[in-house]
Structure 1
Amino acid sequence: MLTKEKNLMPDVTGWSAAVGEIFDPFQSEQLQDPYPVYALARREEPVFYSEKMKMWYVTRYDDIVAITKQPKRFSSSGAIDVPLEQTERTRRGIAESWIAQGSLTNNDPPSHDVIRRLVSRAFSRREVAGLEEPVQRVIDELVDSFAADGHVELVQQFNFPATLRIILDHIGVDAEDPMQLRRWSDDWLAINHLPMTPDEQHATLDRLLECQEFWIDLIEQKRRAQAGDLLGEIIRASEEDSSRIPLLQLVNICMTLYVAGHTTTTDLLSLCVHRLMSDREQWQLVLDDENNIARAIEETLHVDSPVHALMRTTTEPVVVGGVHIAAGERIALLYASANHDEKYFAADRGFDLRHEYPKTHLTFGHGIHFCLGAPLARLVARLSVRTLARRLPGLRLSPEHRTAYVVNPIHRGLAELRLDWTPVGGR
């Protein structure tokens, strides 16, 4: 691995050291606002190494786009795995289970291309447009459950259950206990992204092996029933001679569709509503013209991305941003930093629905791994914000709200979002 001389960086919000020493996605101040460190890196050390995370970080827009265009040199296998200290039992259990299988985000051609073709139709713009009525029905049912209360904790009472039901309905999973699926989702994110004690690792792994059995049983049920839903179609297509996808890889596909379909959409919705509630002028733009809702969603994706980074692994020695990196090194593509790159975006821009951009954001990725679920995420977020605006008069942040972000080095979302409003007929 290449090492670099450490230069002293200018003081930024109280820090003065090499970027790799400063950078800590688990540190409370950076968890609350990572963007000053990202700006420092783009200016002084756009490609830096973090000893804490055991990875290189790439922060500028052009460098990240260039990497996404070279999948042979920068492998996406392990794209969602943060290098962590794990026990031998944990490593072996992961290697022998569905967790180690690649499907969409964490896979390379030609396997990636086969799987992407299997699921792409179900997330096309035309297909998603036909989901507006059932998605709106789920949203209305949940808002009905608290509209008369005058207050809500939006993340747990609306965002999670709405996105959970919508994606399960879409792929054709009628789960007796949807919240169990959510717990498995949290476990998968934890074992990939968070430091844990050996006991925590083993307990999490055991639960994820139970998750594996759930999906294997469901796949077999749908195979026998020749189910006509999305999951049934994927199962049938996976058995064709031209694709022939192994069972554990099929389990990974199921979990990827489910987790990607609700976790990041939940975070997008939380971040968007929080931004709007924190700036009454911007919220008024939405109330005055519902066409601004789509702009609010894109502004959130640009300014405060729910996906901050995904990883690559070098397959040969490379040079990125003038830095030599050896083969076999892990690289994090900091999309959230690229979305603020001063080369394309004004350095002092805040959240403003009136912004126009010369470049699109990278929140949904770029190149062959561009997120298939982007149209569905945008639809769910747009209909949700529209419904909240129409049905909850005087919607505002509650005095009890405290802004706290979920601890995760590649995802960004709110732990809670407390809102108040004036119920219809209330005082």
Structure 2
Amino acid sequence: MTTDTSATTEVGSYFISNYPPFSQWKNDYVPSALEALNQEPDASIPLGLYMHIPFCRKRCKFCYFRVYTQQNAKTIEKYVQSLEREFAILADKPGVRGRDLDFAYFGGGTPSYLSSKQLRSLRDRLTEHLSWETAREVTFECEPGTLNEDKVKTLKEIGVTRVSLGVENFNDTILEANGRAHLSPEVLKAYDWIQNAGFPQVNIDLIAGMIGETDENWRECYEKAAEMQPDNITIYQMELPHNTIISQEMKELGVTSPIANWETKRRWVDEAMNYLAEYGYHASSGNELIRNPETDRFIYRDNLFRGSDILATGVSSFGHFQGVHYQNLDKIDEYMDTIATGVLPVNRALVPTDHQRLIREFVLQMKEGKVSLPPLQEKFGVDIRAEFSDALSNQQSAGYLKVEDDRVTLTRKGLLQVDSLLTEYFEPQHRSVRYT
């Protein structure tokens, strides 16, 4: 059930972020998502927000998200108007009405593609309906080349508490080969502005295994990251979902994968973790390192992995509300036209069983490197060690994890390839289906 550690990175590799797989979500379940929004909420469950800003300067060759490049101010204004209508509809739903947002995440695309004026307008108009002023964390993704000093100050002004800077690599040749819009001088300028603004949390992203990566260059990347001393460093291993430019070229032109194999990528991440540990960083998941475990919390991730309510807003965005998974329409014109009629733009959904919800929370928490069993056992009324006995035994024997008392702890070997382990916990009908 696990991936061959020396295997080539082929089309279809995936990073697990939900269960059951997205391919199983159907339009038939949309009424269930709408019904969940119309039900009185469980006040003990935190409420969060995901907002998708789909605009980018360029489409990266490895990107698999819904993005639109080089859009003008008129299109952006129409999109913001649609977001405002969506917020107004959601805020009036019984499941949402009167609740405070505990966390918010602005993802993309490139949220920082918006101008300072557009960002202030977004804040002013949307917070009339759902305000993130109460949120303990507001994360905002930034592409370095879209930032200037005024825009960074604007992010602080509109309530952003956690900036995530998409560095990916410090080598300009590699950045260009992978279709990134920014170059390394823009990274350094943007980072200085961010540090001067004094955000409570700053994260930088790196990707192990980009086209053209070498041992020497990768070492320079994590050494530079340590020198910058951000609060969080996220290191992704390059994957090739079906709808990336690289994947399309491989399928249409019959070319071999230009991405480093899994064994190499895991070795690179392992090296980075070891080096960063010398600078005081601690692994908080298979791809996230933090400087201070007491203060550096990724609240959005913690809630996503534990079944909290997350409102999906914007084109193609994913949400989870009162036990129902759902996703918005994934084409921008269709999304905006639907909102204009006063209808929520939900495109597909799924009502997971209690057992599937248990699997979801267990496997997602495994990505953090350790799972405390009592909270899950109390929540779902199941003996976790008995429920997953075969998979836990297999993976413990293989050296991927240890089961001790009330905790499952992944070894470094397991942590570096955790996504490849998780399908063994899936229900049989989901173990070989397409994930997305």
Give the TM-score normalised by structure 2.
0.24
Structure 1 or 2: more strand by fraction: 2
Give the TM-score normalised by structure 1.
0.25
